């Protein structure tokens, strides 16, 4: 499967299904290789993926990420096999361990140690039974990896890891409260002061690319130069989380700038 060098990550839960399909079609028309969709407490991300795949012809649709606590390993394996087979190889299953508040308080599950829980889940997937016609190619699988041990697990058992200030703060606010994200920022050299009160300028500038068109492109190029094979952009809108900046989507579309 070829993801291309540039993809888009966005949540479409604030849109109708028809609007989400139209967005996917625009992303495909602009030449992006993939559309990554998160999962929280809106649509089931595998159902959404099926809908988006049915409404596009060449775009890769990926889950970024599907929670391992939202479905058991057998169900995830069946969804992966079926969507890859139905779309002729255009689906990527991305899995993650989510966060303790969402898993325990909202889903009612026990939140296990992240790496151990993910390893157990991947092992169960690998042993799952699937009696329908299988895909003609090996279904790709990636996991969200915030820390070094999860990155090592990604290398061992999967195909890879899925790694302006006012607008940025409005989007980052939720993430700044989640223990897994805070622990990762601490590993990267930030402290509690950087993560409190909406995030320090230093944290915001390191986490969210903002500025003119060329500045944004330079931030994407930096990821490629560091070794990334596929970079996703998430065009943030001052209108709030779940809204989409169509102008940024168009201006950042793959083109000659990707080769410089």
pLDDT tens per residue across span 197-240: 889 999 999 999 988 899 999 999 999 999 999 999 999 887 77
Is the sign of the CA dihedral 133, 36, 102, 14 positive or negative?
Answer: negative
Residue 146: per-residue pLDDT = 87
Residue 58: per-residue pLDDT = 98
69: tokens are 């606590």
Q: Which of residues 31 and 197 earns the better pLDDT score?
A: 31
Exposure on the CB side of residue 73, measured as CA atoms within 13 A? 13
| Domain annotation for the chain: domains and CATH numbers | 6-164+208-259 (3.20.20.30), 165-207 (no CATH)
- Check if the beta carbon of residue 58 is closer than 8 Å to that of residue 88: no
Is the sign of the CA dihedral 162, 167, 168, 171 positive or negative?
Answer: negative
Residue 143: per-residue pLDDT = 97
Q: Is the pLDDT of residue 169 over 90?
A: no
Q: What is the SS3 assignment for 63?
A: strand
What's the pLDDT band for 158 if we cut at 50, 70, 90? very high
Q: What is the SS3 assignment for 105?
A: helix
Q: Is the pLDDT of residue 80 over 90?
A: yes
Residue 244: per-residue pLDDT = 78
- Check if the beta carbon of residue 242 is closer than 8 Å to that of residue 13: yes
Q: Smallest Cα–Cα separation from 144: which of 231, 39, 234, 65?
A: 65
DSSP secondary structure code for residue 133 in this structure = P
Residue 211: per-residue pLDDT = 87
Tell me whether the omega of the peptide bond preceding residue 65 falls within 30 degrees of 0, making it cis.
Answer: yes
What's the pLDDT band for 132 if we cut at 50, 70, 90? very high
């Amino acid at each position: 499967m070829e993801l291309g060098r540039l993809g888009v990550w966005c949540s479409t839960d604030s849109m109708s299904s028809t609007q989400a399909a139209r967005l996917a079609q625009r992303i495909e028309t602009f030449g992006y290789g993939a559309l990554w969709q998160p999962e929280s407490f809106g649509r089931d991300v595998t159902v959404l993926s099926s809908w988006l795949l049915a409404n596009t012809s060449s775009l890769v649709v990926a889950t970024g990420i599907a929670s391992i606590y939202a479905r058991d390993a057998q169900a995830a394996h069946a969804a992966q096999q079926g969507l890859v087979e139905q779309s002729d190889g255009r689906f990527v299953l991305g899995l993650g361990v989510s966060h303790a508040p969402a898993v325990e308080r909202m889903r009612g599950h026990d939140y296990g140690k992240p790496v151990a829980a993910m390893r157990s889940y991947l092992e169960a997937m690998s042993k799952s039974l699937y009696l329908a016609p299988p895909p003609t190619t090996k279904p790709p699988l990636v996991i969200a990896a915030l820390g070094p041990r999860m990155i090592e697990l990604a290398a061992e058992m999967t195909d890879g890891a899925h790694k302006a200030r006012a607008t940025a703060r409005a989007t980052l606010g939720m993430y700044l409260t989640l223990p897994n994200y805070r622990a990762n920022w601490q590993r990267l050299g930030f402290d509690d002061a950087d993560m409190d009160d909406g995030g320090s300028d230093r944290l915001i500038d390191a986490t969210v690319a903002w500025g003119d068109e060329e500045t944004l492109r330079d931030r994407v190029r930096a990821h490629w130069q560091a070794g990334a094979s596929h970079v996703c952009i998430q065009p943030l809108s001052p209108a709030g989380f779940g809204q989409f900046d169509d102008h940024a989507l168009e201006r950042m579309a793959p083109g000659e700038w990707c080769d410089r």
